[in-house]
Amino acid sequence: MKNLERLFSQTAKAIRSSEIRDLLKLVAKPNIISFAGGMPDPSSFPKSELVKIAEYVATEKTELAFQYGPTEGMPQMLEFLSQKFKSQGIDAAVNTLLITSGSQQALDIIGKIFLDPRDLVMTEEPAYLGALNAFRQYRCNFVPIACDSEGLQVDVASEQLKKLDRGGGSLPKLIYTNPTFQNPTGSVMPVSRRKKLVDLACEYDIFVVEDDPYSRIYFEEEPPPSIKSFDKEGHVIFLSTYSKILSPGIRLAYLCAQPELIKKMAIAKQALDLCTSSLSQILGYEYEKRSYEEKKIREIRENYKRKAELMISCMEENFPDGCEWTKPKGGMFTWVKVPSPLNTKEMLPKAIEKGVAYVVGTAFYANGGGEQGMRLNFSYPTHEEIKKGIKRLSEIIRDQI
């Protein structure tokens, strides 16, 4: 094909590769210490538990596990999730739930059913780049709202919505937030902001997309209730996943939204993959039903807490003056700022040469910015790798100053 580009749709031309996925290809070499991926510690995978479940499935549940299933999800899984939500104060009937092949698919479905070219999406900044990429392919425009130590600044969002409303222009269709141990900063939105965000969604008749992969991974104090728990009028679309507490390899997630949305989302999902893997669903269902998760999550919390504390301690010991970083109380990331005029994107090739990798801050900014930022993952590297990697990174920063 001489000119393939001319055949691509405008949607295809808007698609960008994830900077993290591209970076992971570069850092696959054994001598590189990677703080780049948002990957769980492989030691957290419940191998023996999954072997027991797999043996049970292979002998007792073969037809169910290896056959097509309903697009919305296996009835047993949906009923279990419904009861789980109710225990958290969320009245989630089965018809408000959809099982998806990872949260990334859920984000794509949301973009597919809501966004036309030039529609507005309000998002926190910095924001999870997977959400930015999922929405960007539908050629929307972003309205970024800066985060502080407590996540998305809801008062600033309120003022921006007022300004847009007074101006007579279009309002955002969606407000995207990752309020609990946020990716990339690790911040936690307090209850007061969560309630106010629901009030804003009701006032302007728009949807909040609450992305919640990390709330189970708290180190000491349990985080506030979900934004969805304060939603009485169906203005919050809640997403969560098994990737961080079971395994990312099974590609199992779910969302909760008003029934009318679930119907439309299920139709959109049919065109993507017909249904989420029945095998993955039954693995997740049995894992939860047998209470394996309750034991394993305590191990994960303690493991990640030790790693986070080690990374913070190493930065305090090695990083030069002028650097700043967050001190997460859960999740998988810390957010680092280097002093201006340093640029973490320009530093990255030098870092890879030295055998350490991170995600550049610009990847998390929808409309530019973030040149002094970098995201570091502490869940995946070993303790020894954290020590060596932070020392290498500090040397690179000092060389640039």
Identity (one letter) of the amino acid at 259?
P
Give the tokens for residue 58. 């292979």
Contact predicate 145/133, CB 8 Å: no
Sequence spans of domains, the chain: 4-46+294-400, 60-292
Q: CA-to-CA distance for 157 and 211, rounded, in angstroms? A: 18
Question: Do the domains 60-292 and 4-46+294-400 match in fold?
Answer: no
Give the fold, CATH level 3, of 60-292. Answer: Aspartate Aminotransferase; domain 2 (3.40.640)
Domain 4-46+294-400 CATH superfamily = Aspartate Aminotransferase, domain 1 (3.90.1150.10)
Nearest to 141 by CA among 171, 166, 112: 171
Question: How wide is the angle at C-alpha 106 spanned by C-alphas 104 and 112, nearest 5°?
Answer: 105
157-195 in b/e form (b: 16+ CB < 10 A) is bbebbeebeeeeeeebbbbbbbbbbbbbbbbbbeeebbb
Radius of gyration of the chain measured on its C-alpha atoms: 21
Q: Mind listing the pLDDT tens digit for each residue in 26-36?
A: 666 778 999 99
Give the tokens for residue 283. 């693995």
Average pLDDT for the chain:
95
Q: DSSP alpha helices (H): ranges in 137-289?
A: 154-166, 191-204, 259-273, 278-289
Asked whether the predicted pLDDT for residue 47 surpasses 70, the reply is yes
Beta bridge partners of 176: 123, 209
Lowest mean pLDDT among 5-9, 90-94, 171-175: 5-9
pLDDT on residue 9: 84
Nearest to 255 by CA among 102, 124, 141: 102
Contact predicate 196/227, CB 8 Å: no
pTM of the model: 0.95
Indicate the pairing of strand 141-148 with strand 120-125: parallel
What stretches of 135-187 adopt beta strand conformation (E)? 141-148, 151-152, 174-177
pLDDT on residue 30: 76
Q: Mind listing the pLDDT tens digit for each residue in 179-198?
A: 999 999 999 999 999 999 99
Asked whether the predicted pLDDT for residue 20 surpasses 70, the reply is no
> Which residues make Cβ contacts (< 8 Å) with residue 270, sequence separation at least 6?
71
Q: CA-to-CA distance for 113 and 369, rounded, in angstroms? A: 29
Q: CA-to-CA distance for 167 and 122, rounded, in angstroms? A: 16
- The long-range contacts involving 343-350, CB below 8 angstroms and separated by at least 24 positions, are 343/371, 343/372, 344/371, 344/372, 344/373, 344/374, 345/371, 347/396, 347/397, 347/400, 350/396, 350/399, 350/400
Lowest mean pLDDT among 2-6, 80-84, 169-173: 2-6
